[in-house]
A and B are shown apart, each in its own frame.
Chain A
Amino acid sequence: MPLSLTEVLETVRMTEADAFDIRTVTLGISLRGCASRDAESTRRNVVDRVRRVAEHHVAAAEEVERLYGVRIANKRVSITPAALVADGFSPADFVRLAEALDGAAAEVGVDYLAGFSALVEKGATPGDAALIEALPEALAATERVCASVACGSTAAGINADAVLSVARAIKGMAARTAERDSIGCAKFVAFCNAVGDNPFVAGAFHGPSEPGAALNVGISGPGVVLRAIEALGPEADFGAVTDAIKTMAFKITRAGELVGRRVAERLSERSGARVPFGVVDISLAPTPADRDSVGDVLRAMGLVDVGAPGTTAALAMLNEAVKRGGLMAARHVGGLSGAFMPVSEDQAMIDAAASGHLTLEKLEAMSAICSVGLDMVAIPGDTSAETIAGILFDEFAIGMINDKTTAVRIIPVAGKGVGEWADYGGLLGRAPVMPVSGVGNAVFARRGGRIPAPIRALTN
């Protein structure tokens, strides 16, 4: 059947008026085999590998961008968690590795390189500990490098020692980048149930069970979903709303799959080594741009503002409908694949947080049914490491018990308090500093050891 005018115009309107783009094409690169007898030669091997595999990534993505007229907002690289490759490094060695990776990322022209990471769900090696210790300096000294630490999982429980170390590292990152509203924290994610094929930063890394290289795609498209819901009017019931979201999610996922596959093909042609296409991450990633907002989608469902009673249910429904459409459209769905709700990167979320309609506690409830947890949340700079650890524990408990990914990207903005703003510009946007409960939890946060894996983990 020939394409109809209506179909063509629908696609064109998505890219022209509804801010639809592909958020990222992320090239995962395995660094296995790069470890060497000393820090310097390991560093050299790692940089050479990134350069070689990613040399043509940006050019391939730009070629596909032009071919289909769909913008690819970011070109990114993810790597094998650095602590796996550089175990035995000192913290200073890790900082130098981060700087070298930053240089390689700039050289190949990607927006971000993620995977300066450690997986310590059950325990940390000396290398893991050194990487965590190096985080504040490494993130202050680099522009494009993103880091993450996996602190727990349904199978392993929660590594309480790691949670407190990470909370202290977050305080360190905030202090080391105090003059830029503690931007170091915006490049770091702490995880429960982390996944190895996530194309989104800051939490991307190339999992140990991934192939030598893989191309994963993250889509965006809240504006498209917003228009579909607005077109229904206030009388449509939830079934109709679900259908509208599902239909749109299907279409944008198809676009994501096509773009991802073509980038993988072009990259393979240009580099002479086959780079397989991996997954489409069907998360609806918002931006601070007008209409490109998950918060607006929730409001279009009939909430006066994000945070109103019903918000968690609305987000659950959105998440479920996106999954239904996306799963049908893509051969392999992976990564985080759920609604994102980054406070600073979504205008409606920013407004709701600034007006006090959206609180940290409501965000925590919302995180129980979406793919991330507390994302790009600014809190007062004088929040203690123990309070931050408590926030991490709560998020990770939600992830562990529900067998889902939860993540925390939280920014204790140095020198700022409630009512003030952290401003990063670009995709990171701006965030109002949100109030945090001051009720003490120091004894709990310092207990250490491991919170045991839940009964749910015993499935054999």
Chain B
Amino acid sequence: MSADVRALIDRIASALGPEATPERVERVARAVLDARAPAEPARAPAPSRRAHADVSSPPDGATRVVVTAYGEDQPGVLAAITAELSAAGANVLDVSQKVLQGYFTVVLVADLAAGTDLGAVRQTLQSRGEAMGARVLLQHEELFQAMHRP
């Protein structure tokens, strides 16, 4: 197992906290790793996965987005989000999750390949989140860069 995959699994396990059963960690990790599969052969190589999002620009034509979810803590939200992102062919670069006083927040940074219908991905994530009592947002990363990295 390569070091970055091990680091990823450790991160997922610590993010899931007491909910971290081996099966759940595996499911989330698989979803994240699946997202690395190139959507098309011509796509530029994905940036190496590290504990933090790479700040270099996303690969050609890709859109870098920030996905935020928050709500009352319950198992499976992060897994649902990563599964949907995986299905959309997204490349997840960074995941942070915090649980405080029964409320969780998840922030993911991901690259969506050129041609991805952002609206459809947002809609799917929102519906999946709502069904689990979570609010999910998908926003172009440029907004955060403009506000916090002038």
Contact B140 A67 (CB under 8 A): yes
Q: Known: A9-B105, A67-B118, A68-B143. Is A2-B135 also a contact (CB below 8 A)? A: no
Scoring A residues 1 to 17 as 1 if CB is less than 8 Å from chain B, else 0, what string do you get? Answer: 11101011111100010
Contact B149 A68 (CB under 8 A): no
- Selected from B66, B135, B138, the residue in CB contact (under 8 A) with A3 is B66
Q: Known: A66-B118, A66-B122, A251-B148. Is A5-B107 also a contact (CB below 8 A)? A: yes
- Selected from B53, B109, B118, B137, the residue in CB contact (under 8 A) with A12 is B137
Asked if B18 CB lies within 8 Å of chain A CBs, one says no
Which of A12, A252, A258, A329 has the most chain B CB atoms inside 10 A of its CB? A12
- Selected from B54, B139, B141, B147, the residue in CB contact (under 8 A) with A251 is B147
Residues of chain A within 8 A (CB-CB) of B52 are 2
Contact B98 A69 (CB under 8 A): no
Residues of chain A within 8 A (CB-CB) of B98 are 5
Interface residues of B in 89-143 (CB under 8 A from A): 94, 96, 98, 105, 107, 109, 118-119, 122, 135, 137-143
Contact A3 B143 (CB under 8 A): no
Contact B68 A255 (CB under 8 A): no
Contact B142 A9 (CB under 8 A): no
Residues of chain A within 8 A (CB-CB) of B41 are none
Asked if B150 CB lies within 8 Å of chain A CBs, one says yes
- Selected from B96, B109, B146, the residue in CB contact (under 8 A) with A258 is B146
Residue of A nearest to B140 (CB): A67
Asked if B48 CB lies within 8 Å of chain A CBs, one says no
Asked if A254 CB lies within 8 Å of chain B CBs, one says yes
Asked if A70 CB lies within 8 Å of chain B CBs, one says yes
Contact A1 B118 (CB under 8 A): no
Asked if A257 CB lies within 8 Å of chain B CBs, one says yes
Q: How many angstroms between the C-alpha atoms of A220 and B119 in the bound complex? A: 25
Residues of chain A within 8 A (CB-CB) of B135 are 16
Residues of chain A within 8 A (CB-CB) of B96 are 5
Residues of chain B within 8 A (CB-CB) of A9 are 68, 105, 107
A67 to chain B, nearest CB (A): 5
**Main DSSP-derived SS at the B contact region:** mixed
Residues of chain A within 8 A (CB-CB) of B148 are 3, 7, 10-11, 251
Asked if B145 CB lies within 8 Å of chain A CBs, one says yes
Q: Known: A9-B107, A16-B135, A70-B143. Is A3-B53 also a contact (CB below 8 A)? A: yes
Which of A3, A5, A12, A67 has the most chain B CB atoms inside 10 A of its CB? A3
Q: How many angstroms between the C-alpha atoms of A257 and B146 in the bound complex? A: 9
Contact A255 B147 (CB under 8 A): yes
Q: How many angstroms between the C-alpha atoms of A70 and B94 in the bound complex? A: 22
Contact B118 A69 (CB under 8 A): no
Q: How many angstroms between the C-alpha atoms of A1 and B105 in the bound complex? A: 21
Contact A254 B139 (CB under 8 A): no
- Selected from A2, A66, A254, the residue in CB contact (under 8 A) with B150 is A254
Interface size of A by CB at 8 A reads 24
Q: How many angstroms between the C-alpha atoms of A68 and B142 in the bound complex? A: 8
Residues of chain B within 8 A (CB-CB) of A69 are 137-140, 143
Contact B55 A255 (CB under 8 A): no
Residue of B nearest to A63 (CB): B119
A72 to chain B, nearest CB (A): 13
Contact A254 B146 (CB under 8 A): yes
Residue of A nearest to B68 (CB): A12
A3 to chain B, nearest CB (A): 5
Q: Known: A8-B66, A66-B122, A70-B143. Is A3-B137 also a contact (CB below 8 A)? A: no
Residue of A nearest to B108 (CB): A8
Contact B144 A11 (CB under 8 A): yes
Interface residues of A in 237-268 (CB under 8 A from B): 250-252, 254-255, 257-258
Q: How many angstroms between the C-alpha atoms of A1 and B109 in the bound complex? A: 13
Contact B147 A254 (CB under 8 A): yes
Residues of chain B within 8 A (CB-CB) of A2 are 52-55, 94, 109
Residue of B nearest to A7 (CB): B148
Residues of chain A within 8 A (CB-CB) of B144 are 3, 7-8, 11
Q: How many angstroms between the C-alpha atoms of A12 and B71 in the bound complex? A: 13
Q: How many angstroms between the C-alpha atoms of A326 and B84 in the bound complex? A: 38
Q: Known: A1-B149, A5-B98, A257-B146. Is A68-B140 also a contact (CB below 8 A)? A: yes
Residues of chain A within 8 A (CB-CB) of B94 are 2
Residue of A nearest to B135 (CB): A16
Which of B139, B145, B150 has the most chain A CB atoms inside 10 A of its CB? B139
Known: A3-B148, A5-B107, A8-B107. 7 other contacts (CB 8 A): A1-B149, A2-B55, A3-B141, A3-B145, A67-B118, A69-B138, A255-B143
B residues adjacent to A (C-beta < 8 A): 52-55, 66, 68, 70, 94, 96, 98, 105, 107, 109, 118-119, 122, 135, 137-150
6 closest residue pairs by CB, A with B: A69-B139, A2-B52, A258-B146, A68-B143, A7-B148, A251-B147
Provide a sorted-by-A list of 13 A–B residue pairs whose CB atoms are within 8 angstroms.
Answer: A1-B149, A2-B53, A2-B109, A7-B144, A67-B118, A68-B139, A68-B140, A70-B139, A70-B143, A255-B143, A255-B146, A257-B146, A258-B146
